[in-house]
Amino acid sequence: MSTLFTVERLEAFAAQVLVALGALDEHARVTARRLVEADLRDRTGHGIIRLPLYAERIEAGGINLRPDVRILHETPVSALVDGDNGLGQVVMTLAVETAIEKAKVSGLAWVGTWRSNHAGAAGVYTAMAMREDLIGIYFAVASANVMPPWGGRERLLGTNPVAVAIPAGAEVPFQLDIATTVASHGTIKVKSQAGESMPEGWVIGMDGEPITDPDRADEGFLMPIGGYKGSGLNFAIGVLAGILNGAAFGREALDHRAVYDVPANTGQAILVVRPDLFLSLDDFKREMDRQLKVFRGSESMTDAPVRLAGEQAAAIEAERRQDGVPVPGALLAKLRALAVRLGVDDQLVEQE
C-alpha cells in the first residue's frame, strides 16, 4: 500500500515541484529538505503530504516566491526575521541558523519570525540546534484556529506546538515535539481513515458534549492538554511566537487550509541555549546519558521498555534512511498528478 523512496529521491522530487511552481532553487532545496526531515521522523502530517496544499497556496498567490527574507532587528542574543511571506521552511531555516550562530557566541539566542508561513514539523528546527550540541526550544502559532480559549466558544487558538531537543552523548537524545491540543487534525484523520471513533476528550461540541465521530470533528473544538492548563500554555506559545514578533494571532490567524490567497503572517520563535553556560558540555552530556539510561531502564508498566520522547522517531529515521521513506498510495497518486500537471520530470514512478 506504501511505496518506498530514498531520502535523496524524495528531496529532489519535492524541490522539482517547488521549482516548477516558481520557487528559487535554493528555497526549493531547503523546503524540500525540511519536508522530508518531517517524514523521516514520522511527522508525516508535516512532510511531503503538504506539497499539494503548498501548491494551491502558491498558485493562488498566497505565498511570495521571490521574498526578501531578512533580519529586521538584531542584537547579539536576538533577531526578528521578516519572512516577506516566503515559504515557512526558508524563513525558519534562516531563523534557526541565526539563532545557532548567535548562541554559539553569546550562549543564548531568541529569534522570532513574522510574515512567515507554515514551516512544517517543529522538531525539525530544534534538531538543527541539537546537532550543534545546543538545546533548541521552538514555539509556533499554528496555521488554523481549532479551539476557543478555556470556557469560550470562539475558535481563537490553534494547536500551537512546542518542541524541545536536548543533546546527549552516546544515548538517543530526548526530543519532544507536541501540539498543545490532545489530538491534532492528523491523528483525527488517521481515526477517520481507520473507521474508528475518537476517545472522549479529543473533541468537544459547541454544546459542551464530547464528539467521538472523527468525521464530525469539524463541528466541535479540539481540546487542550490538561484543560485550562494546556489552554494557558497554548495562549502563552501564541504570545511568544506571534504577538511578540508582530505576527498573526487570535482573530488574525488565518486558516491556511481554507484561505489560499492572503498572506498568513505566521509567527514562529526559536530559543537556543548553550548547555555549557552552566556545566561543561562534557559533564552535561555525560549526565544526560546517565539519566536517559536510568529512565529507559526503569520498571515498565508493560513488557516493552520505557521509552522517552524522540526515541521512536530516531528509530524510524534510522530505518527510513536505510530502507527508504514510505509514501502511501493515495498520497503517491496525488503527488504524481501534481508532477504531471507541473511538467516535473520525475513522477515518482518506481524504478526497480
Residues 125-184, interacting with a second copy (CB under 8 A)? 135, 148-154, 156, 162, 164, 166, 174, 176, 178-180, 182
Q: How far apart are CA 103 and CA 91, in angstroms?
A: 18
For residue 256, indicate whether it is catalytic.
Answer: no
Where b means 16+ CB within 10 Å and e means fewer, 20-58 reads bbebbeebbbbbbbbbbbbbbbbbbbbbbbbbeebbbbb
Backbone dihedral region of 85: left (phi > 0), alpha (psi from -120 to 50 degrees) or beta?
Answer: left
In the complex, least distance from residue 243 CB atom to a second copy, rounded to whole angstroms: 5
Identity of the residue, 104 or 334, whose beta carbon is nearer to a second copy in the bound complex:
104
Identity of the residue, 19 or 135, whose beta carbon is nearer to a second copy in the bound complex:
135
In the complex, least distance from residue 291 CB atom to a second copy, rounded to whole angstroms: 5
Give yes or no for a contact between 203 and 188, defined as CB atoms under 8 angstroms apart: yes
Burial of 134 (0-12, 13-18, 19+ CB in 10 A): buried
Give the HSE-up count for residue 2: Cα atoms under 13 Å, Cβ half-sphere. 10
Given 27, 46, 118, 256, the catalytic residue: 118
Answer yes or no whether residue 259 interacts with a second copy by CB under 8 A. no
Q: How far apart are CA 122 and CA 179, in angstroms?
A: 9
Give yes or no for a contact between 109 and 271, defined as CB atoms under 8 angstroms apart: yes
What is the sign of the dihedral through the CA atoms of 114, 118, 123 and 129? negative
Answer yes or no whether residue 228 interacts with a second copy by CB under 8 A. yes
Among 13, 138, 202, 284, the residue binding a second copy under the rule CB under 8 A is 284
Identity of the residue, 201 or 329, whose beta carbon is nearer to a second copy in the bound complex:
201
Answer yes or no whether residue 287 interacts with a second copy by CB under 8 A. yes
Among 20, 77, 281, 315, the residue binding a second copy under the rule CB under 8 A is 77
Answer yes or no whether residue 202 interacts with a second copy by CB under 8 A. no
In the complex, least distance from residue 90 CB atom to a second copy, rounded to whole angstroms: 20
Answer yes or no whether residue 199 interacts with a second copy by CB under 8 A. no
Q: Which residue's entry shows cell 528531496? A: 11
Residues 3-62 contacting a second copy, CB under 8 A:
none
Identity of the residue, 62 or 83, whose beta carbon is nearer to a second copy in the bound complex:
83
Count the residues of the shown chain that bind a second copy, applying the rule CB under 8 A: 74
Active-site residue numbers?
A: 118
